[in-house]
Structure 1
Amino acid sequence: MSDQDALTPRVFLVRHGNLKEINTGFKVYITGRRIGPSEAQVSSTAATLVGAGKLLDPSRLAHIFISPRRRARRTFELLLLSPSFGAADWKEKITYTEDIAEWDYGDYEGLKVGEIRKLRKERGLDQEMEWDIWRDGCEGGESMQRVSDRLDRLVSQIREIQRPHMNRGGAADVLLVAHGLILRCFLKRWLDFSVDFPLQMMLAPGAIAVLSYKNNNIEEPAFHLGITLPLLGERGKR
């Protein structure tokens, strides 16, 4: 971990583990409220990247925001609620919030993307352009604007948590545990891009992404293209 990493607060995005029961992923099924995570994926991430002196060091966390959905809650349990940390230690730092819940797919829940596009065209919609969730939202569910509004609230909360800690280090990191599509939306709003900005991203189930601030400046939100891990001899010192 570099000196700048130690002084600049970070935001960790953790996508819940993959779903066992159905073959998911936005390009296959639109799913917002289904099933639980594959525990092996998340446990492997936790063993490798979570712990004292590791990438996600629990002692450096100021707050944790979790989607209320069951698979996000279970993912958090596998990441941090081990006997060595203890659930009681985290109670005051945790917020379960709909602001980071998955996009509400409304009438499209459980449908394949191709099925949604076909249904819409049969109803006279999207004759010039294919349906795109980023731009068009979901009937009976959420629009792009509604998703943007709730994510902007969360971004503002995080900035207020981290603002006093710029250039000071300590327990100022924030953790988000949520879902693939909404976390990609969050990254766009973090960078002040619109939700439908064409930024191609991938976030594997059980993976961790890292956001922060360029030049230790809260007015310059950024994301890490790559990160360095703490040296073995430094682990546990911070």
Structure 2
Amino acid sequence: MPLLLLLLSLIFTGCHSPKERHTTSVIVEGSARAPLYRFFLPEGWRVIFPDAAADLSDTTQPLCTCLLEDMEGKMITITFHHFPTSNGERRIPPASQLARWRRQFQLEASDFDEQEVAWGGFYGRMIVGEGWRDEPMALQAWSLLLCDEEYARLLGGEGKFSPAISRQMAADVTIKAWGDPLLMEKRRSEVVAIAGSFGLLHPLPPSR
């Protein structure tokens, strides 16, 4: 697809330096309503949190949503979801999540590319493409799992966290950005930086 190599070269160019321009630290609560994650939001974006009465155990409910709108009303939306599991339960394979997004955005084989990713204790897969969702739509999204060692440590009771919070911290995560193709092309580095700055607020210390 056009510009694919350029786009993929951007994937982690800014991921680990979110403060190159002015950003705001955003704290995200998990479905237990305890602070779990943090990411950095560039100027010009706004963040929307669920209503206080919303049931965040409903995994269709985003933990938070980021919006960017230009002067012409074109928009980019980024949603963050997580999917807690218990020890022994099957985790969602990133490839399965990406297949769901391909259907959702009607992506043909020539319309997208995928790549393995890893940062901040998470690993998984990313998809970049342009498809259709009522209108032409660009997509860049990540399906992430906490690394196996940290997942096992959390669910095994390591750390000063309650079992409920440990289960939340071990959750699978998705970050999905979609919007106007031209605006996405223009602001892609910001989308990538937002995703790349995402991580646990209180990760476990390295094992000895």
| TM-score range relative to shorter protein | under 0.3
Higher radius of gyration, 1 or 2: 1
- Normalising by structure 1, we get a TM-score of 0.23
- Normalising by structure 2, we get a TM-score of 0.25
Q: Comparing both chains, which one has the higher relative contact order based on Cα–Cα distances under 8 Å and sequence gaps of 6 or more?
A: 1
Higher strand share: 2
